[in-house]
Structures are given as structure tokens and as C-alpha cells.
Structure 1
Amino acid sequence: MLSRSWRDLELLLDVLVHSGGVHGGHYYAFIRPDLSEQWFKFDDERVTKEDMKRAIEEQYGGEEEMNPGFNNTPFKFTKYSNAYMLVYIRESDKDKIMCNVDEKDIAEHLRIRLKREQEEKEQKKTEKSEAHLYTIIKVARDKDMREQIGRDIYFDLVDHDKVHSFRIQKQLPFSVFKEEVAKEFGVPVHFQRFWLWAKRQNNTYRPIRPLSTQQEAESVGQLREISNKMQNHELKLFLEVELGLDLHPCPLPDKTKEDILLFFKLYDPEKEELRYVGRLFVKALGKPADILSKLNEMAGFSPSVEIQLFEEIKFEPNVMCDHIDNNVPFHSSQLEDGDIICYQKSLPLGCNDQIRYPDVPSFLEYIRNRQRRQKKKILA
């Protein structure tokens, strides 16, 4: 039991406390570093001043009687704070123990750790104070889509929280940012083309147009303002890069008003798998039938394989994925930059009953229902 005599407490240094029961709890300590009457409570990273009564007299555990007043019957309640260890120092050793500590007195691995933590703390403090001078640019690439679609996500193209981000000063010209991208991704500046993302009225999120030469001549901050007008909270870009046969970046194709950038996902009904297979520029007046052989090549199919195409339109509040007529021009089907086409092999007659989700729409509907069930479990 803790002594209540101040004479006995003169050299009491620490009171180590457990709060809780036998099945779990929390540990903290009351310490008076200089043996004065001022105690401090060390609770994880939080340090607060405490008086002696709180540090010592209230750490007995057991029960305490409380009088609620107004002639009500007093009642007892259990105290869950218990001092499980007391640390004393001999008065004769006080001068040895309560002395200044030099850096050489601290173990080397602790010095390294403390220095690193201090540097990180200062860095965060600096970043916070200078946050208004910078903007975060998140850059999505084909690589991100290949890694995420069918694993982390199924709808839209990418989770922007999982793509590479750059912290750039707002007043710097966009050309400086492109140089940073060249260093990070190994893509020469003249082989880069950036697209702005936008949230559509149906709540999907797609690249809508490439930055113009005039826009690329502006500062990063000015581009951020353009992005905000399009309902984005950050500057989010899609980096278009063309790779040659040697898989090295090569010159980008010219984009005219007649060209539409489409993204493609491949569905395998037997494996119930969806994956990203790439993107293509198509002519607005062209037809899906014109690119079927190319889509077979992207999927690894032989040129003669029959495939079905579907447009992924939206997934909130319900999935909307419509069949595409191979002989209707892209423009007539209202396809535009950033749209997504999912495709699959045409199944032989009679196979539909043997496969749970025989086509893209039924599979995406299953995925959406599964996500809703998972969300309900989390909220329950």
C-alpha cells in the first residue's frame, strides 16, 4: 500500500499504473522527474501535469464511496486504476541519479531513433506550415490500372489513393513537374501526355481531355484551379505513354477531334475474372467491328475468336452496362473520351446455364451486390 506520509514519499520517483481488469487494460505512469511536488502523467505520447493526490492517493484500486447529495443514498463504485509498481531512489544516490544526461549517456540505437523521429517531426511541421504553397498531383498510369482492376477495384479505372503522388510548389510551371515525372518514371518529357480527370453526372470518374499546350504553359497552381472547377479536390492526371516494340517510350500519336480514347477490360466468364488490357484511339465515325482483331490481340485470342462488347456506363445506384452493336459507329453509340468497354468471348449455345455469370453485366451486378453486403457487415 502506498504510504501517505510525505516524509516517506520524498524519494518516490515513479508510480506505474494499470487501468482496467484481468482481461485487458491500459498502462501509464506518474513521474516527478526532479523530485519536486510537481507530478506528470505519461500516457503514451501525451504528457500532462498532475497533482500529488491524483498521482498517489487515487491509485489504490478497490472501491470508493460516493455521496450523490440531495439526501440520496451513498453508493460504492469500483476503481480500476491500480499502482502495480513503485520506483524509489535512495537519498544518498539522489545526486547521481537526478543529474543532467549527456548524449553519450544514451545508447547509440536510441540516439539514432530519436534523431530520426525529431527529423520526421520537423519535416511534418514544415510541410504543415507550407501546405498552402504546395499542391499534390496524383498521376495514374496504365500500370496502376493493370494492378488494381480485378483486385482492388472493378468499376471505373483506378483508385487515386493508391497511385504515385507528387508534392509540387504551386508557382512552379507545369514543365518543372514534367521533369520530375521524367526522373521518377523514366519517361522523357516529349513522350508524356497528361489528361485531366473529371467526375461525371452519373458519379463515374474518367479522363476527359488531354492538357492543351496553353494549359501546360501555366503554373501548377493555375491547373489546380481548373481541376477544382471540374469538381476535383486534387489535381489528378492520367499519364498517357506509348511503348515501342522494345517496351521503351516512343512518340505519341496525334490526337484529332475525330479520335476517341477508350479503355478496355476483359472478362473471363469461366474464371469469373476481370482485368485491364489496355486502351486504344478509335475514330468517332468508325465501328467496333473495325477493332475486333486488335481487341483479340490485346486479349491474347486468335484473330477469328468472336467477342461481345459492353459499355460500362455507371454503378451507382445500380449497375448499368449495355451491349454494344459492333456495326454502329462509336459516335452514334455516344462513346467519348474516357469511356470503358468491357468485352469477353462469345459463349457457345447452351453454355449459359453452366456458368454463374455468363456475361459482363451479370458479373458486375454480382460484384456490386457483394460490395454492398460487405459494407453492411462493416457498418453492423
Structure 2
Amino acid sequence: MRTYLVGGAVRDKLLQRPVVDHDHVVVGVRPADMLALGYKPVGKDFPVFLHPQSSEEYALARTERKTGRGYHGFAFQADPDVTLEQDLARRDLTINAIAEDEHGNLVDPHHGVRDLEQRLLRHVSPAFVEDPVRLLRVARFAARFAPLGFTVAEETMSLLQQMVRDGEIDHLVPERVWAETRKALGEAQPSAFLRVLRASGALAVLFPEVDVLYGVPQRAEYHPEVDTGAHLEMTLDTAARLAPGNDLVGFCALTHDLGKARTPKNELPRHHGHEQRGIEPLRALVTRLKVPTEYAKLAELVCREHINAHRALELKPATMLKLLTSLDALRRPERLQTFLTACLADKRGRLDHEQDDYPQADWLKSARDAAAAITSAPFVAQGLQGPAVGAAIEKARIHAIAEALHHRKAGQ
């Protein structure tokens, strides 16, 4: 029995990044041997076990053979005769196909260390094209490692384009597309995810609502970057800086401007009403990918209301209360924070506007706090009942917002 540390743990150690998961490959044993040693089985498709003390994953070395289309179209073989090199050969990228033995010696048959040094995302073998999920994984790794200077190797990009042409990505299930997208939106530079998908042709297949934003012009006085696709990429990366790892903010940023692709050509580069036009494509996207309800709801609110947020200093107290109520911000202030972070990312996701102030956020938080302080208790004590209580609360909240904003303006 020989055990090796593999995959991301080795890669991240070499990059001097924090190692989150320690995965191991075990060579020369059968499942029964692992069970006899106290390992707990967890693998459904192939033998994976949890260490009895550390709970880290230990997988038997295996090979795989393509048997059909899509992610599940593989047959696996795991027996004592499978070598470490055979196991590494089935992996996606060379930087993920490095192993380390118990003495710290590296096993690197595909030159992953070299590609780490050259900052390249390169496929291990031509079998790469057999698994469509790998296209998404490459794009996700690009989002993670772009700040370190990583790019996709030319020959690997050619394979990604081939996977799109051959229709292999058409067999991706929505749940897997969403899972990889969600991870990418939580990475350091999500724009790289879009750029890899777009360069391969996959963005038009998987996210047509996003792909059509590229080439759509905006007014240069508000958007010096002009291209809506460029603005989207800047907004995504700004969101990642403002809320590192927060894929909910990232998804709101990704979908906030979908309506700009539906602006009539005779109205360009103005986009009056793009907030409402964005709702239909957003709903189509979340339905197709089976996006979780909270993500779908908050993304729709950002899509519909981000312009109101930008105009917060001009809103009437009644309009402001309506906005806060739509966000359920009085009961869930964290929702307002997520909303405002996405709106700030939109505001700063523009050329030469990366450091813009956003007083609208404090304005809306003050309004929220003032409104939330109003409860039903005093009105019930006055003898009001039913709808009258609700009407009284709304009136008092509007007044409270007006007072709070008056004091805030006076103090500036």
C-alpha cells in the first residue's frame, strides 16, 4: 500500500497558497483492505474512503474509459494493478496531476510544476475533451488564478473550442453548470471565467443572455469603457474585491444589466428601461440553470432596482420605503447589505470610476434603521385594528425616513 498527496493540495503548496482540502491516492490495495484498516467508504461511482482519524479523502488509484456522452458517460476501473501514473493521466490539468509521496518527493509525469512556473492551464491528455465539465473547470481555475498571471494554453483553448463545436457541452446538466458557475463567482477574478467561456464559444451556449451583452454600446459619459460586456467584467471583479468569496453578490453582479441587450437599436447608446427589460432574460437563465430561490430573488431585485439605489439621494421617502420593503430589508438587514454591495460594484465597475464614493449606501441604511424602529405596539395601544394598523405604520415609517434623511442632510 502506497499513499500519495495529490491534486489541489500539492498544487497550492507549490504556489504557496493555503491548502484547504488534502486528497490522497492509494495504490496497491482493494476496497476490502481499506475497510479492514478502518477507512469509511463514501464513494458512489468509485472507491473513495475517509481516514478514520483525519476524515481526509483517500481514493483508490483508478483509470477511466469513455462509454457515452456527458459527465456520467464513463466506466471506472480501480484495482491493485492501477499505477499512480495511470491515475494522474486521467486528470484534467497538468497542475492538478502532481503527486507527493510521504517523504515530500514529487511525481510529475505531465510537467505540472513547469506549467505552474509558466503560469499555464494546460490539459493532461487528448482525453480531456471527453468530459464537458472540464471546460467549466478550466474557466473556473482561470478565475481563481488570473491574479497570479495564469492563462489558458493555446492547445488547451483549441480543445475547449472543439468541445463546443462537437456539442459535448450540450450534455452538461444544469445543476453542474450552476455548481461550477457559483464557485467561479466566488473566485478572485470572475471576469476570467467569462473570457474563457467566450473565447471557447461556450458562453453563447451556456449563458446566451450574458454573451449578447458584448458589443452593446453605452453612453461614454457614464461608461467610459462603452462596451456593456466590458462593464459586466469590471462589475464582477469589483464585486469580488468588495465581497471576497460571496457568490451571491457575484451572481447579482453577473445578471444586473441583462436588459441592455434588449434595448432597441434606435435608442442606443441610451438604455432607458433596461432594468425592466432585464427581468425576462434573468428569469429564463435562473429557470434553465435551476438557480436557488434566494439567488434568483435577490438578483431580480438588483436587476430591477439598482438604478433606484443609485438615485437614493433623490428618492422620496415613500419610494424609499417601497424599495426597502421589496428587499424585506426591515426584517433582514443583511439582504440590504448584499443589494448595496452589488449596486456599489455596478457603480465602480466602470473605467476611471473604480474609487467612486457611494453615499447612497449610508443613505439607504439610515432610512432602513429609521423605518425598522417603527413598530405596531403604539398603534395597537391606541385601539387601531386590522388594516388601520398597517396604514398607520406605513405613514409613521415614511415620516421617520424623512426625518432621518433631513437630519443626515443637515449634518453634511
- What's the TM-score, normalizing by structure 1? 0.27
Higher CA-based Rg: 1
Q: Specify which structure has the bigger relative contact order, considering alpha-carbon pairs within 8 angstroms and separated by 6 or more residues.
A: 1
Larger proportion of strand: 1
